Structure 1
Amino acid sequence: MINKQRGATLIVVLFLLLAIIVLGTLAVRQSLVSLNIATNSQAQQLLLQNSDAAFFNVEREDNIIQALSSSGMFGYISGATDKEKEMVFCYRGAEPNFFDINRASLIYWKSGEAAPTNNEFGVDGYCNADESSTNFFTSGRKAVMTQVAMKFTSISENDPFFGAQFGTDDKTVKFDSTKPVKVFAVSVMPTLTNASTTDINNCFRNHMSEATIPEGTSVALNAISRKTVTECLADLNVPYTSHVTEYVIVQDFV
């Protein structure tokens, strides 16, 4: 009887140990899930804040004055021959100047080409995901970077009076025509992905925020060059947020 009791005790203890191991494993897994949720929530918040900061700088009065000049982010591409060109630059939050024409790039689709042209104005404007390139991140933590792009579109709106000033006739008063412009802000966290910096940089440099193919240009529907920046990042499973805001530039007299 004594031997049988000792054997039963051993079996009970083994079952208890197994139960503790199972419960411990479940607790660890639950903790990891909670940590991942918290990390994702924090990452999304950081990405959103960086995109909002970019738009806040676009709308600042002193930046708008500079942006409308001939060397500004709007003025440089406001010509009739510059429609559908994207002015691109990396938002460097730690630096005093929001936009510098010497550190901006142009990307657009030339008629007859199979992919967008990205180096006509240099490539210094595109963000670089390499951690050693600290000036491309919005802060010293090297966590988030935001690439900004803007373009004037030549596609006519459904409303023929879109953007027109109420109660005015631009032909009579000699106003400049209103100019709708789109501003894109794409924020990424390179440290939260297994994608290489080369692949991330390729998305920034070789893809437009809104690909517009010229009439008469034939490009396969499944061509990689057709993909936008965000579609390229999504294929790499890179955490990102993308926001676009439309503005209308109008001439006014007070």
Structure 2
Amino acid sequence: MRKSQIGQTLIIVLLLLVAITLIGSLAIRSSVLSLKVSTLSQAQQLLLQNSDAALFKVEDPDQLLKNMALNGMFGYIKGEDNVGKELVFCFKSGNANFFSLANASLISWNGSTIQNDGLGNTGFCKMESGFFTSGRGVVITQIAVKAMDAKDSVAFQHMQKGTDPESSKKDPAQMYTIYATSIFPTLSSSTLSDSDLKTAVNKCFNSRFNSIPTEKQSELDVDIAAQNGKINDPTTSAGDKAASEETKAKLELAKVTVSACLSNLGVPAHTQVANYALTQTLSKPTP
């Protein structure tokens, strides 16, 4: 009888140990999950704050006149030769004059491919020391400025009711869109090695548009369909099929925006878009 009681006690103790282990594991799992949620929430706040800080620099009244000049970021990108292009700057820590063409790069279309050698490559952000927005070295922010094509503007847009350009003595407003993309690379969920991730992130920044016009999207879709036709054509030689596959892959990549590219890598990112109307002054249009 005593042996039987000893055996029952052992079973009860083992059950208690299993229950305590399960409760402890659940508590640890819950704590880790809460920590991850808290960390991601703080990261999102930090990304938003850095994007805001970069846009505040754009709106700085002390810099506005210089930026409106022909060699300033607004004056340069609104030229007829630069319509549809994106002027890119990296918002670096301690750089008080980063909105300078000497620190800028230009993304443009060359047919159906992306060209990024305009003005050099100094404007593109990189996952390297010196390209972070602060001394903490955790967030990188890249700015892209794009002018609206005149043919896409709305008649009398941003004109005061009852006036016209002659009576108001104001030039027609020029619309600009500015993209502020911030990333938190240390929280990336990518399975790539550090060096491969760095290369991939740099490519997202220097080889992608922030926004692709609808007509360009349609053009890319037509070109992709043409390549699919060659690939599926039984009379196409193996060499030509391989060439068509390569061309198709490049066309597909051209449709990927900066934010989509970063998202595909699993890099926490936040893109803030601001629209501005430029006449003699800079203002944000009411949504």
The two structures have a TM-score, normalised by structure 1, of 0.89
Instruction: State the Cα distance separating 1:174 from its structure 2 match.
Output: 6.2
Q: State the number of aligned residues.
A: 247
Provide the secondary structure at the position in 1 that maps to 2:118.
Answer: coil
Does residue 1:187 correspond to 2:182, yes or no? yes
Instruction: State the Cα distance separating 1:124 from its structure 2 match.
Output: 1.1
In structure 2, the residue matched to 1:40 is 40
**1:13-49 CA distance string (max 9 Å, x none):** 1111101110010001000110011001100000000
Query: What is the distance in 2 between the residues matched to 1:47 and 1:18?
Result: 43
In structure 2, the residue matched to 1:201 is 202
Instruction: State the Cα distance separating 1:157 from its structure 2 match.
Output: 4.4
- CA separation of 1:215/1:41 partners in 2, compared to 1, >3 Å: closer, same or farther? closer
Match of 2:224 among 220, 225, 230: 220
Query: What is the distance in 1 between the residues matched to 2:123 and 2:224?
Result: 28
Query: What is the distance in 1 between the residues matched to 2:103 and 2:132?
Result: 14
**5+ long unaligned stretches in structure 2:** 226-250, 282-287
After superposition, the CA RMSD in angstroms is 2.2
Instruction: State the Cα distance separating 1:215 from its structure 2 match.
Output: 9.1
What is the identity percentage for the equivalent residue pairs of Structure 1 and Structure 2? 40
**5+ long unaligned stretches in structure 1:** none
CA contact (8 A) 1:203 1:229 kept: yes
- CA separation of 1:7/1:214 partners in 2, compared to 1, >3 Å: closer, same or farther? closer
In structure 1, the residue matched to 2:120 is 122
Output the amino acid matched with 1:78: K
CA contact (8 A) 1:186 1:240 kept: yes
Match of 1:240 among 269, 281, 287: 269
Provide the secondary structure at the position in 2 that maps to 1:118.
Answer: strand
CA contact (8 A) 1:109 1:214 kept: no
Does residue 1:146 correspond to 2:141, yes or no? yes
CA contact (8 A) 2:184 2:269 kept: yes
Deviates more, 1:78-87 or 1:143-152: 78-87
Provide the secondary structure at the position in 2 that maps to 1:208.
Answer: coil
Provide the secondary structure at the position in 2 that maps to 1:87.
Answer: strand
**1:153-195 CA distance string (max 9 Å, x none):** 2164473111334444325676433210111100001111135
CA contact (8 A) 1:105 1:119 kept: yes
The two structures have a TM-score, normalised by structure 2, of 0.80
Query: What is the distance in 2 between the residues matched to 1:105 and 1:164?
Result: 32
Does residue 1:86 correspond to 2:86, yes or no? yes
**1:39-75 CA distance string (max 9 Å, x none):** 0110000000000001111111012112112221111
Instruction: State the Cα distance separating 1:220 from its structure 2 match.
Output: 2.6
